[in-house]
């Protein structure tokens, strides 16, 4: 069985997959799964797929988990290799959904089950998705409520957005953030910077650049964990660990590091999460695999995941689930 080994860097959460050669032959009742995702340098994906690996090991399934590093040509090659190797299921987190449709159709023609994480694709058996506009609106709404508490039309907040518009669903999420901000705090803020930062290291560099050009930025909205973690580190350094009441970061993913920052009173104020801990998300994901592979009939091709705001009122409860 192939192994997928995760190594997390303290700040950047860099994940390095290492594989050992193994047999593709499987015992009765086990399956062969191929997973290709955008990146394993993002702390959310690193945490979840570390737990997915553990669950697949416990089941005795043969698996390969790969990152395409947000390159659709690489992802296409990975899918072609999965088909050649005769996997039972392919799960894809697409770099470019449109580029993959024909290749996933080929997989299904070969009798392979196909699951997409995050995008409403056509040539799949099921898509495990979020309403990214709704998710963005939830992030923006939390930020807007915070802004309304600490700022006014005569003293507007300067806001930075850590985004990733290269990916359509994350552009939808960013547009939702902007809509949520406007709905809750119209006239009480101005967006002064929008920079990409999918992983923490990139986001830290982006946030340092933003603060150099806009030293009065105190509110950040991020499309994901990487932007939150990087921005929090920048603020913690700037403020020498003493975060003022009117400074806050609002984001998605609610990873262990984000929840710990909320509990510890750092700049991270709220994050919109999903099933809960990495363990719960991984279990829900692997449950989807097993349903597909054992003939479960989903009522709809698009299965939506839940949204949960995690802030100082409940962060400790969700954080405890990681231990």
Distance CA 94, CA 114 (A): 12
Task: Tell me how far apart the terminal alpha carbons of the chain are, to the nearest angstrom.
Answer: 28
Asked, for residue 60, whether it belongs to a domain, the answer is: yes
Distance CA 246, CA 243 (A): 8
Same domain, 139 and 255: yes
Distance CA 322, CA 259 (A): 10
Structurally, how many domains does the chain consist of?
2
Same domain, 177 and 269: yes
Asked, for residue 25, whether it belongs to a domain, the answer is: no
Same domain, 107 and 140: no
Distance CA 205, CA 208 (A): 5
Look up the pTM and report it: 0.79
Same domain, 102 and 144: no
Nearest alpha-carbon partner for 93 in 113, 75, 112: 75
Q: What is the CATH number of the domain that holds 206?
A: 3.40.50.2300
Nearest alpha-carbon partner for 4 in 92, 82, 65, 67: 65
Distance CA 165, CA 132 (A): 13
Query: Which residue range forms the structural domain that includes residue 297?
Result: 32-128+276-305
Residue pLDDT tens, the chain, 323 long: 443 433 332 222 223 233 332 333 455 589 999 999 999 988 889 999 999 999 999 999 999 999 999 999 999 999 999 999 999 999 999 999 999 999 999 999 999 999 999 999 999 999 999 999 999 999 999 999 999 999 999 999 999 999 999 989 999 999 999 999 999 999 999 999 999 999 999 999 999 999 999 999 999 999 999 999 999 999 999 999 999 999 999 999 999 999 999 999 999 999 999 998 889 999 999 999 999 999 999 999 999 999 999 999 999 999 998 86
Asked, for residue 321, whether it belongs to a domain, the answer is: no
Same domain, 111 and 202: no
Same domain, 112 and 144: no
């Amino acid at each position: 069985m192939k192994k997928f080994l995760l190594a997390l860097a303290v700040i950047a959460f860099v994940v390095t997959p290492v594989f050992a050669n193994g047999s593709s032959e499987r015992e009765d009742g086990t399956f062969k799964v191929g997973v290709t995702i955008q990146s394993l340098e993002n702390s959310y994906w690193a945490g979840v797929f570390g737990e997915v690996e553990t669950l697949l090991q416990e089941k005795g399934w043969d698996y390969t988990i790969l990152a395409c590093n947000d390159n659709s040509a690489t992802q296409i090659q990975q899918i072609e290799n999965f088909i050649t190797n005769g996997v039972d299921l392919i799960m894809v987190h697409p770099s470019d959904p449109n580029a993959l449709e024909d290749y996933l159709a080929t997989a299904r023609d070969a009798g392979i089950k196909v699951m997409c994480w995050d995008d409403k694709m056509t040539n799949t058996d099921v898509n495990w998705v979020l309403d990214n506009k709704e998710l963005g609106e939830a992030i923006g709404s939390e930020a807007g409520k915070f802004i309304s508490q600490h700022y006014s039309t005569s003293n507007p907040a300067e806001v930075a957005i850590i985004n990733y518009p290269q990916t359509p669903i994350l552009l939808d999420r960013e547009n939702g953030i902007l809509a949520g901000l406007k709905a809750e705090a119209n006239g009480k803020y101005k967006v002064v910077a929008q920079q990409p930062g999918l992983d923490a290291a990139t986001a830290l560099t982006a946030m340092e650049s933003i603060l150099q050009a806009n030293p009065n930025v105190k509110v950040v909205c991020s499309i994901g964990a990487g932007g939150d973690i990087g921005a929090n580190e920048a603020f913690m350094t700037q403020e020498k660990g003493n975060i003022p009441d009117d400074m806050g970061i609002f984001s998605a993913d609610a990873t262990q590091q984000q929840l710990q920052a909320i509990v510890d009173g750092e700049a991270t104020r709220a994050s919109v999460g999903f099933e809960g801990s990495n363990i719960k998300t991984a279990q829900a994901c692997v449950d989807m695999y097993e349903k597909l592979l054992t003939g479960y009939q989903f009522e709809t091709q698009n299965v939506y995941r839940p949204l949960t705001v995690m802030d100082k009122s409940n962060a400790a409860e969700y954080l405890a689930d990681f231990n």
